[in-house]
Structure 1
Amino acid sequence: MSLVGISYDYVDKGLLLAFEERFHFETSSFHLPVSEMTVTLDDVSSLLHLLVLGQLCDLEDVDFEESRCTIVDDGRASAELHAAHGAKVRLSWLRDIYVEHCEQQQWEYAARTYLLHLVGCSIFADKTGTSIRVSYLLLFRDVHACGRYALGVAALAYMYEQVGDANLASTRQMEGYLTLLQSWIYEHFPTLGRRRLVSSYMEDKPRAAKWESPRQGSTLLEVRVHLDALTYDLVICYPYESHRETRPFYGVCIFSGWIRIGDTLCRHFPERVLRQFGFQQSIPRDTPVVANVDILATDDAWLHYHDHVGVCSLADSI
């Protein structure tokens, strides 16, 4: 999977916090002096090379018995769940189990364990960075068919939720795959953040691998000052032209509607950030209310995304 080896060693907390405090969950976008901008499905596809075409990810509570049968075929899974005080397992425990499965040549168990650990370290990372919910096992129950899921959509929905939660007064720590947000900032805002270009980078790799995050980050105050003074000439709206041969633009990236992971619904409204797709910005529609959303209708709209690509908005902008 493309996620291997592209997590930044150091998080630029000042840079990320300055953007998070400008995020509006009602629009899934950052409100900046140069208009709204946001991480889109195209950004996820280009930065991480995750699938944005496919089935939306269903999640549900996984009981002890199913966890035991999916991760390891003895009583240790139940013991681990009890020790973790909830429906989650430690990443360190998964690493030990993975080694055992490889030594015993239990390849399907090893594959599930490896994939669960990988997403727990990246796109579904929690605040602790040391555990992952076992409900994500459902995505890898059939390792031969797990490619049917649009993990790029799940990663974006999870990121929207976590960045939105970071604005709450009760939240004291950033959560989620911060490499996704940080690399997005690096691509679109070349004057922000202390990044280093990886000299060995080739365009056949995910664009997030183009950058390294140094140990010394930015302060929240200095990023706030730079954001307040931001002008259009300091923003790269469409940074992936040189990357299109490796990662083409998918029509689903201008899908306008709800995306989800499990029961978590998030708005994906590319018509609010048309400049990021090379179009002139028009006045976007009002945002719908989550209480009026039906999961089945959401999935149907996603599967028939050609009917929900904001054709009117795009046509008005050309």
Structure 2
Amino acid sequence: MSGLAHLIRCTYRFVNKIVVSSFVERWQPETNTFHLTVGDMTITLDDVVTILGFPIVGKSISVQKLSERGAIALVVNTLEIDAQEVRHEMSSARGNLVRLEWLRAHFHNVTDNDSMERIACADLTTISSYTWGVAALAYLYRQKGYASRSGMKKIAGYMTLLEEWIYEHFRGFQPHLNMNYTQDMPHVYRWTSRREFGEKTQLQAFREELDRLFETRTRVAEMSIRITQLRFTTIYLITHPFIEVGYKDSVQHPDILYYAIDAIEQFLQD
């Protein structure tokens, strides 16, 4: 009903701390980009759609900041858990939040065979109409800004999105392919996440690999592209043995491509 059920299957069980750390320390909060030797790169809404299949069009997610009492009441009324238990969990989590392992402890034994009274704890029918992709990306931007500060040792946000984005675009970090992946799945199912060992030495190796990135320009001769009435006999491509600039399966959003083509035509006509 919510449209988010596949997150249970696609969320990585472990966060690859070394891979994430090597990129977060290059995050620039002023521009919301990773500062690399080849230029700046960032996670876009197109990435969110392609990687997770999250909706980026719909109702905006905007809520007022809850007081401690309001947050406890929300969890109690929605999940029907004892207020004292909720208060203790929020105190342990140090904020108006509950931890995923705490939710698992309470609901791990719920199955499809249970009564609807046990399963239905909230109205989920309207959840899919909200722009969860936009909210997830905006929150991740903010948390990477916090984590990039000197002395910070933790980061919040949906790490599966960040980790998968790295795998999609940087070949040297890619883990094993998921042999059960098919083209109609979101790209998050494409890789099998891994844990790194030897944290200090491996982190330094990743840092050095990122420092060695360079941009090469390859002239592709005797190639022509026809965009309506326009013809180019020579094009230039930015290639790199380490970076995947885009998604090579297909054009993910052709309407955006058509808009870009129209813009190019108009620019050349002017």
Show the 5 A alignment for 1:115-154.
142-154=123-135
Q: SS at 1:89's partner residue? A: coil
For 2:176, the equivalent position in structure 1 comes to 196
Q: Distance in 2 between matches of 1:101 and 1:7?
A: 19
Structure 2: gaps of 5 or more residues: 216-239
Counterpart of 1:94 (choices 89, 103, 117) is 103
* Contact 1:194 1:214 survives alignment (8 Å): no
Name the SS for the 1:43 alignment partner: helix
1:93 Cα deviation after fit: 4.0
- Tell whether 2:215 aligns with 1:215: no
When the two structures are superposed, what TM-score results if normalisation uses the length of structure 1? 0.61
Q: Tell me: CA distance 1:314–1:8, structure 2 relative to 1, closer, same or farther (3 Å).
A: farther
Query: Could you give the per-residue CA deviations for residues 110-140 of structure 1, whole angstroms, max 9, x where no partner exists?
Result: xx4xxxxxxxxxxxxxxxxxxxxxxxxxxxx
SS of alignment partner, residue 128 of structure 2: helix
Q: CA shift at 1:315, angstroms?
A: 7.1
Alpha carbons 1:71, 1:77 under 8 Å: kept = no
Pairwise CA distance, 1:38: 0.6
Give the secondary structure class of the aligned counterpart of 1:31.
Answer: strand
- Following superposition of structure 1 onto structure 2, how do residues 1-318 of structure 1 map, counting pairs within 5 Å? 1-60=5-64, 61=66, 62-72=70-80, 76-85=82-91, 86-98=95-107, 103-106=114-117, 107-109=119-121, 112=122, 142-190=123-171, 192-193=172-173, 195-216=175-196, 219-232=202-215, 233-234=240-241, 235-239=243-247, 241-242=248-249, 244=251, 248-249=252-253
Summarize the Cα distance change of 1:67–1:160 in structure 2 as closer, same or farther, 3 Å threshold. same
**Whole-angstrom CA distance in 2 between matches of 1:16 and 1:201:** 23
Pairwise CA RMSD = 3.3
Deviation per CA, 1:280-314, whole angstroms, max 9, x where unpaired?
xxxxxxxxxxxxxxxxxxxxxxxxxx9xx9x9899
CA contact (8 A) 1:23 1:163 kept: yes
Cα pair 2:28 2:34 within 8 Å, conserved: yes
How much does 1:100 deviate? 7.5
Q: Measure, in 2, the Cα distance between the counterparts of 1:250 and 1:165.
A: 35
Match of 1:296 in 2: none
Normalised by the size of structure 2, how large is the TM-score?
0.71
Amino acid at match of 2:97: K
SS of residue matched to 1:5:
helix
Q: Match of 1:135?
A: none
Shift of 1:55: 1.8
SS at 1:154 equivalent:
helix
Q: Matched residues in 2 for 1:52 and 1:58: separation?
A: 14
Deviation at 1:47, TM superposition (A): 0.6
Q: C-alpha distance in 2, partners of 1:26/1:105? A: 48
C-alpha distance in 2, partners of 1:69/1:163?
32
User: CA deviation digits over 1:235-291, x for unaligned, max 9?
Assistant: 22111x4255xxx4286xx8xxxxxxxxxxxxxxxxxxxxxx8xxxxxxxxxxxxxx
What per-residue deviation string (whole Å, max 9, x for no partner) do you get for residues 77-133 of structure 1? 453224432422343443354367764422320xx4xxxxxxxxxxxxxxxxxxxxx
The question of whether the paired residues in 2 share the 8 Å contact of 1:42 and 1:250 is answered with no
Count of paired positions = 226
Q: Cα 1:70–1:161, aligned 2, differ >3 Å: closer, same or farther?
A: same
Structure 1, unpaired ranges of 5+? 113-141, 255-276, 278-305
Identity of paired residues, percent?
31
Structure 1 pair 166–96 and aligned structure 2 pair: CA distance change class (3 A) = closer
* Amino acid in structure 1 at the alignment position of 2:147: A
Partner Cα separation in structure 1 for residue 49 and residue 40 of structure 2: 20
